[in-house]
C-alpha cells in the first residue's frame, strides 16, 4: 500500500484502486498539502470526533459516497447527516474489500462540537489497526502512553506505527519512544505536532531518540509518501 501524510494526524492510504483516509483534517490545517476539494476518498476511518480529525469528513464523504468507519456513536453522528457509515467499537475487526480494520483502545476523549459550542459525546476514542496487502499499520489516534500498547505489539505486530508526539493533548516524544519499543519497534512516523504552537516539537530530535534504541523513524513532510 501507498501511504501519504497530509500533516497533523491525516493519513491517506492507497490500496489498489481504493483510497482510504484516516482523520481527514485539511480545511483549517496549516500543514495540509492538499485542499479538501482535491481529495478523493472511498473509505474514511476515524479515531475520534475532535475537529482536528474530522473537519473534512462530510465534504469528503459526500463527494464520492465514501463510507465512514468509526465507533458507533461517532459514526451515528455522521449517519444522521446523510453519510454512509459502518459503525464499530473497540476490540472489533471487520473485513472490508480493501483489508481489515480493527479499533483498539486509545486514552483520550471524543466529542464533536454541538450547536451551542458545547462538546457532544462521540463514544470512546480509538486507535486503528489496518491490515492490507500483507502489511499492518497502526494509527494511534490521539492518546496518552498506555501499557496495553505492548498487547497491540504482541497481537498485531505493526510494520508501521503513526504515533502522536505533540504533547499537551497527547503523549510527547519521550513517551512515544517507549510506545515504539512496546509496539515491537515498527517503522515509526510522528504525527500530531507542529500544526499549532502548543504542539511544537523537534521531529529530527525524536528520530534520533528512536535511533538510539535501534528503532527506525521517518518524519514525513506533508505530501510525502512511503510504500509499504
Interacting residues toward Ni ion by CB under 5 A? 50, 142
Q: Choose the one of Mn ion, Ni ion, none that binds residue 102, judging by a C-beta under 5 to 8 angstroms depending on kind.
A: none
Instruction: Please return the burial class of 217, using the count of CB atoms within 10 Å of its CB with bins 0-12, 13-18 and 19+.
Output: buried
Residues in contact with Mn ion by CB under 5 A are: 50, 52, 142
Q: Could you count the other beta carbons within 10 Å of the beta carbon of residue 152?
A: 23
Indicate the helix (H) or strand (E) that contains 48.
none
For cell 476514542, name the residue.
125
CB of 53 to Mn ion, least distance (A): 6
Q: At what angle do helices 173-182 and 203-212 cross, to 10 degrees?
A: 40
CB of 46 to Mn ion, least distance (A): 11
Q: Choose the one of Ni ion, Mn ion, none that binds residue 139, judging by a C-beta under 5 to 8 angstroms depending on kind.
A: none
CB of 40 to Mn ion, least distance (A): 24
Instruction: Provide the b/e sequence for 41-76 (b: ≥16 CB within 10 Å).
Output: bbbbbbbbbbebbbbbbbbbbeeeebbbbbbebbbe
Q: CB nearer to Mn ion: give 50 or 102.
A: 50
For cell 484502486, name the residue.
17
Q: Choose the one of Ni ion, Mn ion, none that binds residue 175, judging by a C-beta under 5 to 8 angstroms depending on kind.
A: none
CB of 111 to Ni ion, least distance (A): 9
Q: CB nearer to Mn ion: give 12 or 52.
A: 52
Q: Choose the one of Mn ion, Ni ion, none that binds residue 73, judging by a C-beta under 5 to 8 angstroms depending on kind.
A: none
Amino acid at each position: 500500500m501507498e501511504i501519504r501524510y497530509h500533516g497533523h494526524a491525516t493519513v491517506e492510504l492507497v490500496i489498489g484502486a481504493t483510497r482510504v483516509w484516516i482523520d481527514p483534517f485539511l480545511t483549517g490545517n496549516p500543514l495540509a498539502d492538499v485542499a479538501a476539494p482535491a481529495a478523493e476518498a472511498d473509505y474514511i476511518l476515524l479515531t475520534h470526533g475532535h475537529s482536528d480529525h474530522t473537519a473534512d469528513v462530510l465534504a469528503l464523504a459526500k463527494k464520492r459516497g465514501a463510507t465512514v468507519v468509526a465507533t458507533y456513536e461517532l459514526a451515528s453522528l455522521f449517519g444522521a447527516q446523510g453519510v454512509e457509515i459502518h459503525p464499530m467499537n473497540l476490540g472489533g475487526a471487520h473485513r472490508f474489500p480493501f483489508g481489515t480494520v480493527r479499533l483498539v483502545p486509545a486514552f483520550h476523549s471524543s466529542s464533536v462540537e454541538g450547536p451551542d459550542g458545547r462538546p457532544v459525546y462521540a463514544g470512546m476514542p480509538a486507535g486503528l489497526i489496518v491490515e492490507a496487502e500483507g502489511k499492518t499499520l497502526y494509527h494511534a489516534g490521539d492518546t496518552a502512553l498506555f501499557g496495553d500498547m505492548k498487547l497491540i505489539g504482541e497481537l498485531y505486530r505493526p510494520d508501521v506505527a503513526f504515533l502522536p508526539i505533540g504533547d499537551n493533548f497527547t503523549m510527547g516524544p519521550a513517551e512515544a519512544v517507549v510506545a515504539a519499543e512496546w509496539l515491537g519497534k515498527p517503522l515509526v512516523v510522528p504525527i500530531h505536532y507542529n500544526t499549532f504552537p502548543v504542539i511544537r516539537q523537534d521531529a529530527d530530535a525524536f528520530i534520533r531518540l528512536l535511533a538510539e534504541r535501534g528503532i527506525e523513524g521517518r518524519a514525513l513532510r506533508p505530501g510525502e509518501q512511503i510504500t509499504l
